C-alpha cells in the first residue's frame, strides 16, 4: 500500500493558502491558491494526491481531523443523506471539494484508507509536507519532484 502524507496551510484563514502531498522525500507536489481557507487546502491536498497517484491501494496520512473524521466517522454518509446539510441543518462547507474527493474515494475499486497523525509532533513526513504547504502559501507557487 502506498503511503501518502498530505497537508494544507493558510495565511490569515482566509488568505493565501498552500497544499502539499508527499510519498517519501523524492515524490511530492505542492500548489497554492490566492484566497482560501486552511480546511479547503487540507481537502485539496488529498484530491491532488489521489489525482497524481491514480492506481493501487493508498493510505492517506493527514493531521487534519476534518479530512480523516469525514471518512472514519462517515460524515459523508450523513451529508449525502441530508442533501448536503450538516448535522445542524446548515449547508456543508467546501461542498465543491468534497464532491470531487468523494468521486475519487467512494465506490471506487481500489482501497483508500485515512490515518490521522498529530501535527507538529516530530513525524518526519508530516513536518515535510507542512513545510511544502507553508512555502506554497507564502510564495504562492508550488513545487513538484
Pairwise CA distance, residues 64 & 20, whole Å: 13
Domains recognised in the chain with CATH numbers: 2-139 (3.30.420.10)
Phi–psi pair at 47, nearest 5 degrees: -55, -50
User: In tens digits, what is the pLDDT along the chain, a chain of 145 residues?
Assistant: 999 999 999 999 899 999 999 999 999 999 999 999 999 999 999 999 999 999 999 999 999 999 999 999 999 999 999 999 999 999 999 999 999 999 999 989 999 999 999 998 899 999 999 999 999 999 988 888 7
DSSP assignment of 49-64 equals HHHH--SS-EEEEES-
Amino acid at each position: 500500500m502506498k503511503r501518502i502524507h498530505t497537508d494544507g496551510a493558510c495565511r490569515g484563514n482566509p488568505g493565501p493558502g498552500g497544499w502539499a502531498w508527499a510519498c517519501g522525500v523524492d515524490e511530492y507536489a505542492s500548489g497554492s491558491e490566492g484566497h482560501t481557507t486552511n480546511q479547503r487546502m487540507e481537502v485539496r491536498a488529498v484530491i491532488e494526491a489521489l489525482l497524481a497517484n491514480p492506481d493501487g491501494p493508498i493510505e492517506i496520512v493527514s493531521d487534519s481531523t476534518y479530512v480523516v473524521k469525514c471518512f472514519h466517522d462517515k460524515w459523508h454518509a450523513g451529508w449525502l443523506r441530508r442533501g448536503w446539510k450538516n448535522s445542524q441543518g446548515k449547508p456543508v462547507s467546501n461542498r465543491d471539494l468534497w464532491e470531487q474527493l468523494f468521486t475519487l474515494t467512494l465506490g471506487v475499486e481500489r482501497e483508500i484508507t485515512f490515518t490521522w497523525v498529530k501535527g507538529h509532533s516530530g513525524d518526519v513526513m508530516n513536518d515535510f509536507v507542512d513545510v511544502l504547504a507553508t512555502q506554497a502559501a507564502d510564495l504562492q507557487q508550488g513545487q513538484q519532484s
